[in-house]
Chain A
């Protein structure tokens, strides 16, 4: 099993729908992150959490929310999806043992039509 698992792998949804992307990890890392990747724009940070009670906005948090249900689970929600949220979404984890280098999940390709 993968260390960082994202579900679903692919999703097509309609404008205005609420959608949740889930991330779970078996690495025991405290720190978890959500990024989106767009061609030419690279990876941009949406939200991050350094422990279960800690939630922080990243550079592009508008239109998104998160929930850290447990050390191992960090979910990203799009409250009302819009087409420009079409992107590849990655969850990542890190800890001091890797000098905070990230381990990424396999990604969720989201299309909003």
Chain B
């Protein structure tokens, strides 16, 4: 079982709709969770972090964490063509030994 799993996509969403990206993780003691956006050929860019159960909102982005279900998601409201990218979920599995484990990413395409 992979430590961090994401649906590779591609996920196609009409412009203006809500894009929903999902991630599951295997280590129950994981402490912190991150979403990165990566444009083709570019470096990953941190867009959201979340540490507690529930929702965290930042502009058009909402991260949701459910530690009991070992599930973290990213919602993008009012999707724009510029949101087309690969989204990487990253998990810090061990408090005190902070090395992130990444999922393989979900490729998102916003259709104008």
Contact: B105 with A90, CB < 8 Å?
Answer: no
Q: A3 → chain B, closest Cβ, in Å?
A: 11
A98 smallest CB distance to B (angstroms): 8
Known contacts A99-B32, A100-B32: does B103 contact A105 (CB below 8 Å)?
no
A101 and B99: CB pair below 8 A? no
Could you mark each residue 6-44 of chain A with 1 if its beta carbon is under 8 Å from any beta carbon of chain B, else 0? Answer: 000000000000000000000000010100000011110
**Least CB distance, A91 to chain B, in whole angstroms:** 9
Q: How many residues of B contact A (CB 8 A)?
A: 21
Complex CA gap A41/B105 in Å reads 9
- Chain A residues near B111 (CB, 8 Å)? none
Which interface residue of A41, A58, A94 has the most chain B CB atoms within 10 A? A94
Contact B32 A101 (CB under 8 A): yes
- Taking the complex as formed, is B26 at the interface, i.e. its CB lies under 8 A from any CB of chain A? no
Query: Within residues 76 to 113 of chain A, which ones have a CB less than 8 A from any CB in chain B?
Result: 88, 90, 94, 98-107, 109
Which residues of B are interface residues toward A (Cβ below 8 A)? Answer: 8, 32, 34, 41-46, 49, 51, 88, 90, 92, 98-100, 102-105
Q: Which residues of A contact B (CB under 8 A)?
A: 31, 33, 40-43, 45, 48, 58, 88, 90, 94, 98-107, 109
